[in-house]
Amino acid sequence: MTKAERAAYVAETLERLYPETPIPLDHTDSYTLLIAVLLSAQCTDERVNQVTPALFEKANTPREMVKLSVEEIQEFIRPCGLSPQKSKAIFGLSQILIDKHDSIVPASFEDLEALPGVGHKTASVVMSQAFGVPAFPVDTHIHRLAQRWKLTNGKNVVQTEKDLKRAFPEESWNQLHLRFIFYGREHCSARGCDGTVCGICSHLYPDRKRAVKTKK
């Protein structure tokens, strides 16, 4: 099976399993999505969704957020981990949105990645899910699956993103990256599958005997 054939099978299977692709992080607009994605770094979406209702009830706009101190923000988000850094980033980016963007989240990779605490992956999620711009954010689930299915050589997430964008049509990226995540959590997790167990792995590589070691 060629790489193109593998990619086509993966896309067809994931579309069948996940015809709907709801965003896992609860939010009401681009700003609350940005904050939720920032909080999800090294934290589960489930935990983020437990934390954000109280925070957003208190402050769900940049102007409301900067009325809180960094320490107050930290108390809301402490269960997410890395709360000292994340609270400073949330306060800082909110102030920048007020000063430079009229309190509006910019629909630009360059402007988003210039914000504190916002890297390429976070910017990609916001661009794809808030603004509909084609992007393929790569998290640990996607990186692992792309390697197991030999859609990338797996040197790093940057290379994985480039390889996946080449493997799939641009119009499918925004839904497909969510489908990868759903499948990785439910069927091909780090512990639940080693590259030989789940339905897609076993179909693509029926003769595979050894576990696939994921490169970081």
CA distance linking residue 177 with residue 145, whole number of Å: 11
Report the SS3 class of residue 151. Answer: coil
Count, residues in the chain? 216
Closest CA to 149 of 185, 187, 196: 196
Residues labelled as active-site residues:
121, 139
CA within 13 Å, CB half, 110 = 0
Closest CA to 180 of 123, 137, 214: 137
Closest CA to 73 of 83, 81, 63, 82: 83
As a whole number of Å, the CA-based R_g of the chain is 18
